[in-house]
């Protein structure tokens, strides 16, 4: 069964850094980042900002993969070799991420038991958009 997706409109989202930078002539400016966000018609601005923020998390994960598992350190001549290297590096990163999450969950559960709060509960996730 096909489901109709709502109409999506491209939005230009401009993010300004909070840190100032000095230019020639003692002028002060900010760094800007531009995003093209496709959102449903009438979608709140906060939702577009949240979705644009996901991009930074993905970039951080890719940088971590390059540093920790050697994702960017391949010297191959064929696509098959490259694919094997990237697959192994991503599997190693997934394993390390799962181990870290398990370790942090154990720490937060122990901390939550000491303080009587519910830090050990898993966060809820919500899905948006069409499949």
Which of the given ranges, 23-27, 70-74, 111-115, has the highest pLDDT on average?
Answer: 70-74
pLDDT (mean) for 57-67: 85
123 within domain boundaries: no
48 within domain boundaries: yes
pLDDT (mean) for 18-44: 80
Q: 64 and 80: one domain?
A: no
Task: Report the domain count for the chain.
Answer: 2
d(CA 43, CA 9): 10
Tokens of 121: 């509960």
The CA-atom distances, in angstroms, between 131 and each of 5, 6, 7, 118, 127 are 9, 12, 14, 33, 10
Q: What is the mean pLDDT of the chain?
A: 77
The CA-atom distances, in angstroms, between 30 and each of 16, 20, 25, 27, 53 are 6, 5, 15, 10, 19
The answer on pLDDT for 127 being more than 50 is no
Q: 62 and 87: one domain?
A: no
pLDDT (mean) for 70-81: 88
pLDDT (mean) for 49-53: 78
Q: 1 and 59: one domain?
A: yes
Q: What percent of the chain has pLDDT over 70?
A: 78
Q: 24 and 51: one domain?
A: yes
Residue span of the structural domain in which 19 resides = 1-68
Spatial contact of 16 and 28, defined as CB atoms under 8 Å apart: no
50 within domain boundaries: yes
pLDDT of residue 119: 39
- The pLDDT confidence band at residue 130, using thresholds 50, 70 and 90, is very low
Q: 30 and 86: one domain?
A: no
d(CA 36, CA 47): 13
Q: 89 and 51: one domain?
A: no
pLDDT (mean) for 58-84: 88
């Amino acid at each position: 069964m096909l489901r109709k997706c709502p109409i999506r409109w491209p939005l230009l989202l401009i993010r300004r850094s909070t840190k100032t930078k000095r230019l020639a002539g003692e002028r002060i400016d900010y760094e800007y980042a531009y995003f093209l966000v496709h959102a449903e018609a009438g979608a709140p601005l906060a939702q577009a900002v949240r979705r644009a923020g996901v991009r930074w998390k993905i970039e951080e994960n890719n940088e971590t993969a390059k540093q920790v598992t050697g994702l960017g350190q391949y010297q191959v001549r064929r696509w098959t070799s490259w694919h094997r290297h990237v697959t192994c590096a991503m599997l190693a990163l997934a394993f390390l991420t799962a181990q870290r999450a398990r370790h942090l969950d154990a720490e937060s559960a122990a901390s939550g038991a000491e303080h009587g709060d519910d830090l050990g509960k898993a966060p809820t996730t919500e899905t948006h958009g069409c499949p």
